[in-house]
Amino acid sequence: MLFLWLYMFYSCAGSCAGLTTRGSPAPPRAAPPLPPLLPGEPGEESSLEEQRAAPDAGSPISSFFNGSGTKRLPQAIIIGVKKGGTRALLEFLRVHPDVRAVGAEPHFFDRNYERGLAWYRELMPRTLEGQITMEKTPSYFVTKEAPARISSMSKGTKLIVVVRDPVTRAISDYTQTLSKKPDIPTFESLTFKNRTTGLIDTSWSAIQIGIYAKHLENWLLHFPIGQILFVSGERLIRDPAGELGRVQDFLGLKRIITDKHFYFNKTKGFPCLKKAEGSSKPHCLGKTKGRTHPDIDPEVVQRLRDFYRPFNMKFYQMTGQDFGWD
């Protein structure tokens, strides 16, 4: 009897499951739960931190499974200065496995700000958990609007400034321009508003960039001095591993980049990498770096040193470092 009852039960299970009481409607199926709103969708205010942590819009699942990482806004930016050694510093830092950086200069906070943070973020490389996203645009340091704009993105952004003797930097700046425009006036004629009186033309960008104290004042309105690291362009050439040690500490990274990563190229006059990022071959910066400077009238050089001296002294006081430019 028991076997007969079990046979009837299992025979009916497949066909009887869909039967309902005659005349009564089938119970409605429960609606599937709605997915949570993604950051930025209407109805939810998303914080900047959530946007930075969120995977790329489009296919968050594929990003997770293919191990390619996530695009994030930069946690650290090399903000200056032009002809100070920013390209060398970035290339050296990219050797570190926990640093991912944009190769080209985005110029977001000075030229492309109206494009918005989504556009900026899309330029960034993908990073894994624990890696740092970086970019470098040397003109940020002298752009009046840049400090407030970067602070608006994230008040915790770490800033790096590579500085160099402002007189040497100005000559290097001029040399770069001369290579592109051979017919420009001489360095000496551009330096002065009136050479007879010795009045320096501070409207010339090559001179104006080197007044570091003036530009730094603008940044200190938005960032504490401890959030800005000042790298010596001269020490970066003499002791690249030592300066990179300071940078790695500042970024909270393990000191992986050491003396073993560098060799000094006598032809170029600066250190090069024994192995570049993603390569087993030595790598030096291109022919646009290490150009031979034109001979400048020593009297003009001395007048520039006299002009920069008070600004340098103030910069030393502000940063707590003596860069030895006098």
**Binding-site sequence positions:** 83-87, 164, 172, 289-293
Is 83 tagged catalytic? yes
Do the Cβ atoms of 163 and 172 come closer than 8 Å?
A: no
- In one-letter notation, the amino acid at residue 9 is F
Catalytic residue (one of 83, 136, 155, 266): 83
What is the distance between the alpha carbons of residues 271 and 240, in angstroms, rounded to a whole number?
7
Helix axes 86-93, 240-250, angle to 10 degrees: 70
Residue ranges at the known binding site for 3'-phosphoadenylyl sulfate: 83-87, 164, 172, 289-293
DSSP 271-316: EEESS-TT-SS-B---TTSSPPPPP--HHHHHHHHHHHHHHHHHHH
For residue 140, the 8-state DSSP code is G
Beta strands in 109-253 (DSSP E): 126-127, 132-136, 158-163, 192-194, 199-200, 228-232
**CB within 8 Å of 281: residues ≥ 6 apart:** 275
Q: Which amino acid is at 2?
A: L
The answer to whether 200 and 303 are in contact (CB under 8 A) is: yes
The pair of structure tokens assigned to 250 is 């500042």
Of 58, 57, 41, 39, nearest to 49 by C-alpha is 39
Which of 163, 144, 159 has the alpha carbon at shortest distance from 226? Answer: 159
**3-class secondary structure, 252:** coil
Is the alpha carbon torsion for 56, 279, 84, 216 positive or negative?
A: positive
Active site residues: 83
